Structure 1
Amino acid sequence: MKKKSYLAAAFVLLFMLVLSACGSAAQNGTNTASTETGTEASASTGSTNKDAAAEQSGTVTYESETGPVEIPANPTRIVALSSAPNVLSLGVPLVGVDQWTGANPLFTDMLKDVAVVSEEEPESIAAQTPDLIIAGSTTKNLDQLNKIAPTVVYTWGKLDYLEQQVEIGKLLGKEEEARQWVDDFSKRAADIGDKVKAKYGDDVTVSVIEVDGKSAYVMGDSWARGTEILYQAMDLKMPEPVSKAVSADGYYALSLEVLPEYMGDFIAVSRRLDMDSEMMNSEVWKQIPAVKEGHVIEFETRAASYSDPTTLENLLGIFEKGFLGESK
């Protein structure tokens, strides 16, 4: 009898211990299980188990052009081998950038403590312990970069300059901010374009060229150097010879002898401002009507090779002053 009582007591004790353990586990798991509980609660608002799991792990799924990529919900150590200026324009800090962005005078202050890394040397990227890498479709060693950190790839020109900024906003959780800038910039640029046409006529033309030593290249409507602003946002016209010349590749190399044939009523010149230009010192250049009329707008090549908000805002101010003699 005593033996039966002992066994019964032992069974009750064991049962109570199991209940206690379950209760303790439930209490200790409150924080980690809150996302799962939240998933059930959020079902009525259309959330999914996948979303809840992402929230729990601190990651989100970004639908990139190469497929879904799981990235940190709030990346804090970004290496940008592509689109770095777009990231900086959203006020998001970087830990590593490509050499071209590193040499851009518009971003000098923003990049004081940021490492210049190289796609040729993945170890230079790994040394920054990134939690997100942004690269271009032609970036070398993409397989190795994917092993270092989640890597999102963009193909240059697949999106236009405004869509690209919105897409970077989506990647970094700043889509609304990016869209607001797009709307505001587009309106301001269009207003300036209207003023230019009101002053010089609806058919006023502008050529965009880049001068490098003895060479010159005329640009199409989406080749940075302010082309997106002038031809798209401001809706100004390019001369017909330029339109035909750039139709194949987006740009066209010019010799000094034929240069005048491709120059419009205005010439926007991208060049190294700290260097003399042999071409612009030539008699051929000096005899071009736009040059004789003072319709030449010069700007620094190193600060014009991107189409991000910081670059575009800088160039819009230069163009406003160059065309209208005023700048906000």
Structure 2
Amino acid sequence: MKKLLVPFLLLIVLTISACNSATTKQESNPTKAENKATTITYQSENGPIDVPSNPQRVVVLSSFTGNVMALNVKLVGVDSWSKMNPRFEKALKDVQEVSDESLEKIIELKPDLIIGLSDTKNIDKLKQIAPTVTYTYAKVDYLTQQLEIGKLLNKEKEAKTWIDDFKKRAQKAGEDIKAKIGADKTISVIESSDKQLYVFGNNWGRGTEILYQEMKLEMPKKVKEMALKDGFYALSLEVLPQYAGDYVILSKNPDADNSFQQTDTYKNMPAVKNKQLFEVNAKEFYFNDPLTLDYQLEYFIKNLLGK
């Protein structure tokens, strides 16, 4: 009886030992499914790329800083244009200013995701630091761009919710504005930069997407002819009145030469004489990310509707 019992007990011990060994092996070697859960595959314009499913240290080398901030994702590095935006100043206080040439600085920030434009320099080197996704500016419309950023950051639902709400608010405001000022009234977006003036089409930031795409307000014929295709058009002071609508949004760079505002050409424009020209800080109005768009919409409602 004892001779039979010993092999039986030995078999039980070996079985338990094998089970424990298998369990330990599984714990020390996560399954492929568990590994895959830490990343997602984003379909970028350059093909599929694996990116963090929950990025914690993002570097933005372009105009998409506000797009990322709107989705509450942590930034560790941003471009100079974003850093000089007064409305972003508080949120970006501890975020480093970087460029596509400050590779060592970017390495020190230990990013887990880098976002840039298609013409960003050193892309191959950046890809060695962290997954790098680039976009071609204006390849998709401004709201689709936010949806793409949402997909990239694994926050597509949040992006879609904001987009739907924003469109409703902007379109309703447009209906109210046209009812107040007249559907046939025109509006221009003009900007001062150094010693050059620019007028913008319907997709170049500065609130143009809201005014023309969502609100369906009219741009002057001359603006439509010269700025609609390329998005912007450089002009001289002498021809400025030809591009000025009944209403004008003047995106004014406080650091630029704005002496043109002291000229008779400027002062005699109907929009100026009728007090229908509204100045905004260009540094706050440049972009078309959700944070800036919400600010622009509030500004237009306040100044064009008087609310």
Equivalent position of 1:64 in the other structure: 44
Matching residue's letter, 2:19: G
2:198 counterpart (217, 227, 233): 217
Matching residue's letter, 2:42: Y
Q: Distance in 2 between matches of 1:113 and 1:273?
A: 25
Equivalent position of 1:23 in the other structure: 19
Q: Which moved more, 1:75-84 or 1:18-27?
A: 18-27
Give the C-alpha shift of residue 131 in structure 1.
0.9
After superposition, where does 1:1-328 map in structure 2 within 5 Å?
19-29=15-25, 53-55=35-37, 58-82=38-62, 83-273=64-254, 277-326=258-307
Q: Distance in 1 between matches of 2:121 and 2:14?
A: 57
Q: Distance in 1 between matches of 2:39 and 2:17?
A: 31
Report the 3-state secondary structure (helix = DSSP H, G, I; strand = E; otherwise coil) of the residue aligned with 1:79: strand
Q: Distance in 1 between matches of 2:138 and 2:20?
A: 56
Against the structure 1 CA distance between its residues 226 and 32, is the aligned structure 2 distance closer, same or farther, given a 3 Å change threshold?
farther
Q: Distance in 1 between matches of 2:179 and 2:295?
A: 23
Report the 3-state secondary structure (helix = DSSP H, G, I; strand = E; otherwise coil) of the residue aligned with 1:107: coil
Q: Distance in 1 between matches of 2:269 and 2:105?
A: 48
Q: Note the alpha carbon deviations across 1:223-273, whole angstroms, 9 max, x for none.
A: 101100110111101011110011442211111111111111100110124
Report the 3-state secondary structure (helix = DSSP H, G, I; strand = E; otherwise coil) of the residue aligned with 1:302: helix
> Retained in 2: the 8 A contact 1:95–1:114?
yes
Give the C-alpha shift of residue 52 in structure 1.
5.9
> Retained in 2: the 8 A contact 1:213–1:279?
no
Work out which of the two has the higher radius of gyration on C-alpha atoms and give 1 or 2: 1
Equivalent position of 1:48 in the other structure: none
Matching residue's letter, 1:77: R
Against the structure 1 CA distance between its residues 88 and 62, is the aligned structure 2 distance closer, same or farther, given a 3 Å change threshold?
same
Against the structure 1 CA distance between its residues 275 and 248, is the aligned structure 2 distance closer, same or farther, given a 3 Å change threshold?
closer
Q: Distance in 2 between matches of 1:206 and 1:195?
A: 15
> Retained in 2: the 8 A contact 1:269–1:298?
yes
> Retained in 1: the 8 A contact 2:187–2:218?
yes
Q: Note the alpha carbon deviations across 1:93-146, whole angstroms, 9 max, x for none.
A: 201111111111111111111111121121111110111111111110000000
Q: Distance in 2 between matches of 1:227 and 1:162?
A: 13
> Which segments of 5 or more consecutive residues in structure 2 lack a partner in the other structure?
none
> Retained in 2: the 8 A contact 1:303–1:311?
yes
Q: Distance in 2 between matches of 1:209 and 1:76?
A: 38
Give the C-alpha shift of residue 153 in structure 1.
1.2
Q: Distance in 1 between matches of 2:182 and 2:68?
A: 38
Q: Distance in 1 between matches of 2:137 and 2:57?
A: 23
Q: Note the alpha carbon deviations across 1:283-315, whole angstroms, 9 max, x for none.
A: 101111111000011111111111001101111
Q: Distance in 2 between matches of 1:69 and 1:273?
A: 41
Higher relative contact order (CA 8 A, sep 6+): 2
Q: Distance in 2 between matches of 1:213 and 1:135?
A: 26
Give the C-alpha shift of residue 166 in structure 1.
1.1
Report the 3-state secondary structure (helix = DSSP H, G, I; strand = E; otherwise coil) of the residue aligned with 2:294: helix
Q: Distance in 1 between matches of 2:16 and 2:74?
A: 48
Q: Distance in 2 between matches of 1:62 and 1:214?
A: 42
Report the 3-state secondary structure (helix = DSSP H, G, I; strand = E; otherwise coil) of the residue aligned with 2:87: helix
Q: TM-score, normalised by structure 2?
A: 0.92
> Which segments of 5 or more consecutive residues in structure 1 lack a partner in the other structure?
37-50
Matching residue's letter, 1:54: K
Q: Distance in 2 between matches of 1:102 and 1:34?
A: 41
> Retained in 1: the 8 A contact 2:86–2:284?
yes
Against the structure 1 CA distance between its residues 188 and 133, is the aligned structure 2 distance closer, same or farther, given a 3 Å change threshold?
same
> Retained in 2: the 8 A contact 1:297–1:319?
no
